[in-house]
């Protein structure tokens, strides 16, 4: 990170040193354990990713922890520094040629291909599922010798009412791509908890293997952390065997400090992923928010040994933006997170631009409208 003082979690007035500023029951002690070999600190006192410790016996799911408010009680985020760091990220040199094509194919495998429109029908869900199995034209993949690598998107994401359509379409196509369903009062979260839990259970009953819940933003804005933890915990329980992604709706949380706190609470409550946005807010996935959420994921991993996934969603439309997010994940969390099990891109139109860029890479010319009819 070039020594950028991007993120200091300290109480106001404390020295900007990571791990020296969190109050815990029984007295203050450092947040972070001793650094393993290969790790270090940059000039801003931030933990470098280095090589994280090997998690011994870690389950595939995040089991969560008991609520520990000491982890977030004195959190302070240096917002100007985070914003400056995000501006530096946007200036990173872009990859070209075969390297760009490889990054783009990696991005494809991490996409949650999404349709969340009021006019969704079985036919357009079926079309999306076909595209999910064949995200890039077969001849383009053959030209790159990637046609036999099983490249598909990570999942398809729909409303609960369309889950059965998606499950049947994917089954008919002979592929095992999981169906994700938004639930729990998506997108506003302004739904009674009982209704949220019932919606989650129905989506799972219909065949969803992943559930994208959305939190009640009012609980964050009013500092009701115990209530937020309990709500997410109950949603996690309602998911059963389905993996749960928790949407924070970061554009409506008021501050980056609240983003960090909500991230930690969501992970304590057992979220398998934390996700930036519903895609329906005025402000969706932004790089400063991504930095803060990934720092929370890293800290949670250091504390518990549980790896939690990250999903930026909303407003990611270009291949260049997708590569930037992939590079940021690599820089903040390491290559271990660059796989569908731990990183997703929530997008509805991103795949079109990626396929256009791959078309240009293979043919040397720009695609006309009829060249990518399924985009």
Active site positions, annotated: 212, 275, 311
Instruction: Round to whole Å and give the CA distance between 337 and 293.
Output: 14
Tell whether omega for the bond before 187 is within 30 degrees of 0, i.e. cis.
yes
Tokens of 129: 């599922």
163-172 vs 122-133: helix crossing angle, rounded to 10:
40
Pairing relationship of beta strands 210-214 and 179-182 according to DSSP bridges? parallel
Tokens 């995200």 identify what position?
135
DSSP of 32-45: SPPPPTT--B-TTS
C-alpha to C-alpha distances, 350 to 126, 152, 153, 240, 279, nearest whole angstrom: 19, 14, 12, 31, 13
Mapped onto helix, strand or coil, the DSSP state of residue 203 is helix
Taking alpha carbons only, the member of 218, 348, 209, 353 closest to residue 278 is: 348
The answer to whether the beta carbons of residues 81 and 10 sit under 8 Å apart is: no
**Gap between the Cα atoms of 82 and 289, Å rounded:** 9
State the SS3 of 64-96.
CCCCCHHHCCCCCCCHHHHHHHHHHHHCCCCCC
Q: Are 327 and 312 in contact (CB under 8 A)?
A: no
Give the whole-angstrom CA distance, residue 306 versus residue 298.
10
> 3-state DSSP: the chain helix, strand, coil percent, rounded to 5?
45, 10, 45
Coil/strand/helix, residue 150: coil
d(Cα 316, Cα 95) in Å, to the nearest integer? Answer: 18
């Amino acid at each position: 990170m070039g020594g950028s003082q991007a993120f200091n979690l300290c109480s106001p007035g404390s020295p900007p040193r990571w791990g020296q500023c969190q109050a815990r029951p029984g007295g203050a002690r450092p947040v972070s354990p001793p650094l393993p070999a290969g790790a270090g600190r940059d000039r801003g006192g931030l933990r470098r990713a280095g090589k994280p410790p090997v998690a011994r016996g870690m389950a595939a799911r995040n089991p969560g922890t008991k609520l520990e408010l000491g982890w977030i009680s004195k959190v302070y985020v240096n917002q100007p520094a985070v914003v400056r760091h995000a501006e530096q990220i946007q200036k990173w040199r872009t990859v070209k040629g075969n390297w760009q094509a490889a990054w783009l194919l990696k991005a494809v495998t991490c996409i949650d291909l999404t349709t969340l429109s009021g006019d969704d029908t079985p036919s357009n869900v079926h079309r999306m599922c076909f595209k999910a199995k064949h995200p890039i034209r077969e001849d383009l993949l053959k030209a790159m010798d990637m046609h036999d690598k099983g490249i598909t998107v990570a999942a398809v994401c729909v409303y609960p009412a369309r889950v059965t359509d998606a499950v049947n379409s994917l089954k008919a196509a002979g592929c095992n791509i999981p169906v994700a369903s938004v639930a729990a009062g998506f997108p506003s979260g302004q739904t009674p908890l009982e209704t949220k839990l019932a919606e989650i259970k129905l989506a799972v009953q219909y065949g969803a293997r992943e559930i994208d819940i959305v939190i009640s933003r009012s609980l964050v804005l009013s500092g009701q952390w115990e209530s937020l933890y309990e709500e997410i915990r109950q949603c996690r329980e309602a998911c059963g065997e389905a993996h749960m992604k928790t949407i924070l709706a970061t554009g409506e949380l008021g501050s980056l400090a609240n983003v960090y706190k909500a991230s930690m609470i969501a992970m304590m409550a057992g979220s398998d992923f934390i996700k930036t946005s519903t895609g329906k807010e005025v402000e969706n996935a932004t790089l400063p928010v991504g930095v803060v959420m990934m720092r929370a994921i890293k800290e949670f991993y250091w504390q518990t040994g549980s790896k939690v996934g990250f999903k930026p969603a909303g407003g990611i439309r270009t291949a260049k933006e997708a590569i930037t997010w992939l590079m940021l994940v690599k820089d903040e969390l390491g290559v271990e997170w660059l796989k569908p099990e731990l990183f997703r891109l929530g997008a509805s139109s991103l795949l079109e631009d990626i396929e256009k860029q791959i078309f240009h890479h293979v043919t040397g010319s720009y695609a006309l409208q009829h060249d990518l009819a399924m985009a």
